[in-house]
Protein backbone atom coordinates (compact mmCIF):
# COMPACT_ATOMS: atom_id res chain seq x y z
CA UNK A 1 0.00 0.00 0.00
CA UNK A 2 1.25 3.49 -0.84
CA UNK A 3 2.33 5.41 2.29
CA UNK A 4 -0.22 8.18 1.68
CA UNK A 5 -3.06 5.66 1.38
CA UNK A 6 -1.94 3.94 4.59
CA UNK A 7 -1.94 7.30 6.39
CA UNK A 8 -5.36 8.28 5.05
CA UNK A 9 -6.82 5.00 6.26
CA UNK A 10 -5.12 5.31 9.65
CA UNK A 11 -5.79 8.98 10.32
CA UNK A 12 -9.08 9.73 8.61
CA UNK A 13 -11.09 6.65 7.61
CA UNK A 14 -14.47 7.36 5.98
CA UNK A 15 -17.06 8.48 8.51
CA UNK A 16 -14.53 9.59 11.12
CA UNK A 17 -14.41 13.20 12.36
CA UNK A 18 -10.93 13.56 10.84
CA UNK A 19 -12.36 12.51 7.47
CA UNK A 20 -14.79 15.42 7.60
CA UNK A 21 -12.06 17.78 8.76
CA UNK A 22 -10.11 17.06 5.58
CA UNK A 23 -13.09 16.85 3.24
CA UNK A 24 -12.87 19.64 0.70
CA UNK A 25 -9.16 20.30 1.25
CA UNK A 26 -6.74 20.09 -1.65
CA UNK A 27 -4.82 16.85 -2.19
CA UNK A 28 -1.59 18.23 -0.78
CA UNK A 29 -3.21 19.36 2.48
CA UNK A 30 -5.03 16.03 2.87
CA UNK A 31 -1.85 14.04 2.34
CA UNK A 32 0.26 16.25 4.61
CA UNK A 33 -2.15 16.30 7.53
CA UNK A 34 -2.99 12.65 6.91
CA UNK A 35 0.67 11.76 7.48
CA UNK A 36 1.00 13.90 10.61
CA UNK A 37 -2.30 12.75 12.09
CA UNK A 38 -1.49 9.12 11.28
CA UNK A 39 1.67 9.41 13.36
CA UNK A 40 -0.39 10.88 16.20
CA UNK A 41 -2.81 7.94 15.94
CA UNK A 42 0.05 5.44 15.97
CA UNK A 43 1.58 6.99 19.09
CA UNK A 44 -1.70 7.63 20.91
CA UNK A 45 -2.78 4.03 20.39
CA UNK A 46 0.24 2.39 21.99
CA UNK A 47 -0.79 2.58 25.66
CA UNK A 48 -4.49 1.73 25.10
CA UNK A 49 -3.60 -1.24 22.88
CA UNK A 50 -0.92 -2.75 25.12
CA UNK A 51 -2.04 -4.53 28.26
CA UNK A 52 1.52 -4.91 29.49
CA UNK A 53 3.60 -1.78 30.17
CA UNK A 54 6.73 -3.60 28.99
CA UNK A 55 5.15 -4.14 25.58
CA UNK A 56 4.15 -0.48 25.38
CA UNK A 57 7.69 0.59 26.28
CA UNK A 58 9.08 -1.67 23.57
CA UNK A 59 6.75 -0.10 21.00
CA UNK A 60 7.74 3.41 22.04
CA UNK A 61 11.39 2.37 21.77
CA UNK A 62 10.73 1.10 18.25
CA UNK A 63 9.14 4.40 17.26
CA UNK A 64 12.02 6.37 18.84
CA UNK A 65 14.41 4.43 16.63
CA UNK A 66 12.17 4.91 13.59
CA UNK A 67 11.95 8.67 14.11
CA UNK A 68 15.74 8.81 14.33
CA UNK A 69 15.85 6.79 11.12
CA UNK A 70 13.48 9.33 9.59
CA UNK A 71 15.91 12.04 10.64
CA UNK A 72 18.65 10.14 8.83
CA UNK A 73 16.58 9.83 5.67
CA UNK A 74 15.81 6.10 5.53
CA UNK A 75 12.42 5.52 7.24
CA UNK A 76 10.83 2.06 7.13
CA UNK A 77 7.25 2.64 8.29
CA UNK A 78 4.57 3.95 5.87
CA UNK A 79 3.84 6.90 8.17
CA UNK A 80 7.45 8.04 8.37
CA UNK A 81 7.88 7.39 4.65
CA UNK A 82 4.94 9.72 4.01
CA UNK A 83 6.30 12.35 6.37
CA UNK A 84 9.88 12.31 5.07
CA UNK A 85 9.44 14.30 1.81
CA UNK A 86 7.12 16.80 3.48
CA UNK A 87 9.56 17.49 6.29
CA UNK A 88 12.38 17.92 3.77
CA UNK A 89 10.30 20.26 1.64
CA UNK A 90 9.82 22.61 4.60
CA UNK A 91 13.28 22.15 6.05
CA UNK A 92 11.88 20.76 9.30
CA UNK A 93 13.86 18.67 11.78
CA UNK A 94 12.31 15.23 12.24
CA UNK A 95 13.67 15.19 15.80
CA UNK A 96 10.83 17.51 16.79
CA UNK A 97 8.46 14.58 16.39
CA UNK A 98 10.17 12.92 19.34
CA UNK A 99 8.56 15.50 21.60
CA UNK A 100 5.15 14.20 20.55
CA UNK A 101 6.27 10.63 21.26
CA UNK A 102 7.60 11.47 24.73
CA UNK A 103 4.33 13.17 25.63
CA UNK A 104 2.40 9.98 24.89
CA UNK A 105 4.98 7.76 26.59
CA UNK A 106 4.94 9.81 29.79
CA UNK A 107 1.77 8.12 31.04
CA UNK A 108 3.75 4.93 31.56
CA UNK A 109 5.64 6.65 34.37
CA UNK A 110 3.07 9.18 35.63
CA UNK A 111 -0.44 7.98 36.44
CA UNK A 112 -1.70 11.26 37.94
CA UNK A 113 -1.17 15.01 37.68
CA UNK A 114 -1.13 17.48 40.62
CA UNK A 115 -2.67 20.39 38.70
CA UNK A 116 -3.60 21.60 35.24
CA UNK A 117 -0.43 23.65 34.69
CA UNK A 118 1.75 20.55 35.07
CA UNK A 119 -0.58 18.57 32.81
CA UNK A 120 -0.33 21.27 30.12
CA UNK A 121 3.45 21.44 30.30
CA UNK A 122 4.22 17.74 30.24
CA UNK A 123 1.28 16.15 28.42
CA UNK A 124 -1.06 18.53 26.61
CA UNK A 125 1.64 20.61 24.95
CA UNK A 126 3.65 17.74 23.41
CA UNK A 127 0.59 15.72 22.38
CA UNK A 128 -1.62 18.63 21.31
CA UNK A 129 0.11 21.95 20.76
CA UNK A 130 3.31 20.59 19.24
CA UNK A 131 1.57 18.60 16.46
CA UNK A 132 -0.69 21.56 15.72
CA UNK A 133 2.27 23.90 15.33
CA UNK A 134 4.01 21.32 13.15
CA UNK A 135 0.88 21.28 10.99
CA UNK A 136 1.23 25.02 10.53
CA UNK A 137 4.82 24.63 9.31
CA UNK A 138 4.10 21.61 7.12
CA UNK A 139 1.30 23.54 5.42
CA UNK A 140 3.57 26.52 4.81
CA UNK A 141 1.50 28.83 6.99
CA UNK A 142 4.11 29.75 9.61
CA UNK A 143 4.47 33.33 8.38
CA UNK A 144 0.75 34.08 8.46
CA UNK A 145 -0.31 36.36 11.35
CA UNK A 146 -1.53 34.41 14.35
CA UNK A 147 -1.08 31.01 12.72
CA UNK A 148 1.40 29.55 15.20
CA UNK A 149 -0.21 31.08 18.30
CA UNK A 150 -3.72 30.13 17.23
CA UNK A 151 -2.77 26.59 16.30
CA UNK A 152 -1.00 26.21 19.65
CA UNK A 153 -4.25 26.94 21.51
CA UNK A 154 -6.37 24.81 19.17
CA UNK A 155 -3.92 21.96 19.68
CA UNK A 156 -4.18 22.28 23.45
CA UNK A 157 -7.98 22.28 23.19
CA UNK A 158 -7.86 19.16 21.01
CA UNK A 159 -5.70 17.33 23.56
CA UNK A 160 -8.01 18.43 26.38
CA UNK A 161 -11.01 17.22 24.39
CA UNK A 162 -9.45 13.80 23.73
CA UNK A 163 -8.60 13.34 27.40
CA UNK A 164 -12.12 14.29 28.46
CA UNK A 165 -13.62 11.77 26.05
CA UNK A 166 -11.36 9.01 27.35
CA UNK A 167 -11.60 9.90 31.03
CA UNK A 168 -13.05 6.57 32.25
CA UNK A 169 -11.16 4.40 29.76
CA UNK A 170 -7.91 6.01 30.90
CA UNK A 171 -8.87 5.55 34.55
CA UNK A 172 -9.55 1.86 33.96
CA UNK A 173 -6.01 1.58 32.58
CA UNK A 174 -4.67 3.20 35.74
CA UNK A 175 -4.11 6.67 34.30
CA UNK A 176 -6.00 9.61 35.79
CA UNK A 177 -6.06 12.50 33.36
CA UNK A 178 -8.02 14.87 35.61
CA UNK A 179 -5.66 16.88 37.86
CA UNK A 180 -5.72 15.89 41.53
CA UNK A 181 -6.55 19.38 42.77
CA UNK A 182 -9.63 19.56 40.52
CA UNK A 183 -10.84 16.16 41.65
CA UNK A 184 -10.44 17.24 45.28
CA UNK A 185 -12.27 20.51 44.65
CA UNK A 186 -15.31 18.48 43.59
CA UNK A 187 -15.01 15.95 46.40
CA UNK A 188 -13.90 13.18 44.04
CA UNK A 189 -11.04 10.68 43.95
CA UNK A 190 -9.37 8.58 41.28
CA UNK A 191 -11.60 5.68 42.28
CA UNK A 192 -14.73 7.67 41.45
CA UNK A 193 -13.68 7.81 37.79
CA UNK A 194 -13.71 4.02 37.61
CA UNK A 195 -17.42 3.79 38.30
CA UNK A 196 -20.06 4.00 35.54
CA UNK A 197 -21.91 6.75 37.38
CA UNK A 198 -23.25 10.25 36.93
CA UNK A 199 -23.53 12.42 40.01
CA UNK A 200 -23.78 16.11 40.74
CA UNK A 201 -20.07 16.07 41.54
CA UNK A 202 -19.01 14.40 38.29
CA UNK A 203 -21.30 16.67 36.30
CA UNK A 204 -19.74 19.74 37.91
CA UNK A 205 -16.26 18.39 37.26
CA UNK A 206 -16.91 17.71 33.58
CA UNK A 207 -18.78 20.98 33.12
CA UNK A 208 -15.69 22.83 34.35
CA UNK A 209 -13.51 20.85 31.94
CA UNK A 210 -15.79 21.80 29.05
CA UNK A 211 -15.67 25.48 30.01
CA UNK A 212 -11.87 25.30 29.87
CA UNK A 213 -11.85 23.55 26.49
CA UNK A 214 -14.19 26.14 24.99
CA UNK A 215 -12.10 28.99 26.37
CA UNK A 216 -8.97 27.46 24.87
CA UNK A 217 -10.70 27.02 21.50
CA UNK A 218 -11.90 30.62 21.60
CA UNK A 219 -8.39 31.92 22.27
CA UNK A 220 -7.06 29.90 19.37
CA UNK A 221 -9.69 31.10 16.92
CA UNK A 222 -9.30 34.71 18.03
CA UNK A 223 -5.56 34.62 17.39
CA UNK A 224 -5.87 33.32 13.84
CA UNK A 225 -5.87 36.02 11.19
CA UNK A 226 -8.34 35.57 8.30
CA UNK A 227 -5.49 34.28 6.11
CA UNK A 228 -4.42 31.82 8.80
CA UNK A 229 -7.98 30.55 9.18
CA UNK A 230 -8.13 29.84 5.47
CA UNK A 231 -4.75 28.08 5.45
CA UNK A 232 -5.59 26.05 8.56
CA UNK A 233 -9.17 25.23 7.67
CA UNK A 234 -8.90 21.55 8.78
CA UNK A 235 -7.83 22.64 12.28
CA UNK A 236 -10.69 25.13 12.45
CA UNK A 237 -13.15 22.46 11.31
CA UNK A 238 -11.80 20.03 13.91
CA UNK A 239 -12.40 22.60 16.63
CA UNK A 240 -15.97 23.10 15.39
CA UNK A 241 -16.70 19.37 15.41
CA UNK A 242 -15.31 19.06 18.91
CA UNK A 243 -17.37 22.04 20.08
CA UNK A 244 -20.51 20.42 18.65
CA UNK A 245 -19.65 17.16 20.40
CA UNK A 246 -19.23 18.99 23.70
CA UNK A 247 -22.72 20.45 23.24
CA UNK A 248 -24.08 16.93 22.75
CA UNK A 249 -22.23 15.71 25.83
CA UNK A 250 -23.90 18.47 27.84
CA UNK A 251 -27.30 17.59 26.40
CA UNK A 252 -26.66 13.98 27.40
CA UNK A 253 -26.25 15.01 31.03
CA UNK A 254 -22.44 14.94 31.16
CA UNK A 255 -22.62 11.16 31.58
CA UNK A 256 -19.04 10.63 30.39
CA UNK A 257 -18.44 7.81 32.86
CA UNK A 258 -21.43 5.89 31.50
CA UNK A 259 -21.37 6.25 27.72
CA UNK A 260 -19.66 7.83 24.75
CA UNK A 261 -21.42 10.47 22.68
CA UNK A 262 -20.78 10.59 18.93
CA UNK A 263 -22.13 12.93 16.27
CA UNK A 264 -23.99 11.26 13.43
CA UNK A 265 -22.35 11.31 9.97
CA UNK A 266 -24.97 13.81 8.77
CA UNK A 267 -24.28 16.09 11.75
CA UNK A 268 -20.53 15.80 11.16
CA UNK A 269 -20.97 16.69 7.50
CA UNK A 270 -23.20 19.67 8.28
CA UNK A 271 -20.97 21.06 11.03
CA UNK A 272 -17.85 20.57 8.92
CA UNK A 273 -19.43 22.30 5.93
CA UNK A 274 -20.47 25.31 8.01
CA UNK A 275 -17.08 25.60 9.70
CA UNK A 276 -15.20 25.24 6.40
CA UNK A 277 -17.35 27.88 4.77
CA UNK A 278 -16.70 30.35 7.60
CA UNK A 279 -12.96 29.58 7.63
CA UNK A 280 -12.59 30.12 3.90
CA UNK A 281 -14.26 33.48 4.28
CA UNK A 282 -11.71 34.26 6.97
CA UNK A 283 -14.34 34.46 9.68
From the list 245, 236, 243, 239, the residue with the least C-alpha distance to 283 is 236
From the list 45, 28, 34, 29, the residue with the least C-alpha distance to 5 is 34
Per-residue pLDDT reduced to its tens digit, 4-61: 999 999 999 999 999 999 999 999 999 999 999 999 999 999 999 998 999 999 999 9
For residue 53, what are the domain limits?
1-109
Q: Is residue 278 a contact partner of residue 24, using CB atoms and an 8 Å limit?
A: no
Report the chain's terminal Cα–Cα distance, integer Å: 39
228 and 241 fall within a common domain: yes
Give the CATH number for residue 133: 1.10.600.10
Q: Is 263 helix (H, G, I), strand (E, B) or coil?
A: coil
135 and 84 fall within a common domain: no
49 and 131 fall within a common domain: no
CA–CA separation, 165 and 248 (whole Å) = 12
181 and 148 fall within a common domain: yes
pLDDT of residue 110: 85
* Domain end position, chosen among 109, 133, 162: 109
pLDDT of residue 205: 98
> How many beta carbons lie within 10 A of that of residue 147, not counting itself?
26
pLDDT of residue 239: 98
From the list 150, 173, 157, 93, the residue with the least C-alpha distance to 125 is 157
If one counts the domains in the chain, the total is 2
pLDDT of residue 86: 95
For 238-252, give one letter per residue: b (16+ CB within 10 A) or e: bbbbbbbbbeebeee
32 and 156 fall within a common domain: no
* Domain end position, chosen among 109, 138, 168: 109
From the list 154, 149, 118, 123, the residue with the least C-alpha distance to 43 is 123
82 and 190 fall within a common domain: no
Residues of the chain below pLDDT 50: none
CA–CA separation, 128 and 6 (whole Å) = 22
CA–CA separation, 263 and 77 (whole Å) = 32
pLDDT of residue 1: 77
91 and 119 fall within a common domain: no
From the list 260, 232, 258, the residue with the least C-alpha distance to 245 is 260
CA–CA separation, 185 and 78 (whole Å) = 45
* Domain end position, chosen among 54, 81, 109: 109
253 and 114 fall within a common domain: yes
102 and 231 fall within a common domain: no
70 and 173 fall within a common domain: no
99 and 114 fall within a common domain: no
pLDDT of residue 202: 98
143 and 92 fall within a common domain: no
Amino acid sequence: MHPDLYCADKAAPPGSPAHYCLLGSDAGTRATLGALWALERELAGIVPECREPAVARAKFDWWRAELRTLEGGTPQHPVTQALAPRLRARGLDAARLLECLEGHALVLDYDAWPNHAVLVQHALTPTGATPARLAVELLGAAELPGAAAGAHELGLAHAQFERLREVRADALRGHCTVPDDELAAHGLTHADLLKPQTSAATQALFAAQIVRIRATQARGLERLSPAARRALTPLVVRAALEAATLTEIEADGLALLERRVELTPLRLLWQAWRARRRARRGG
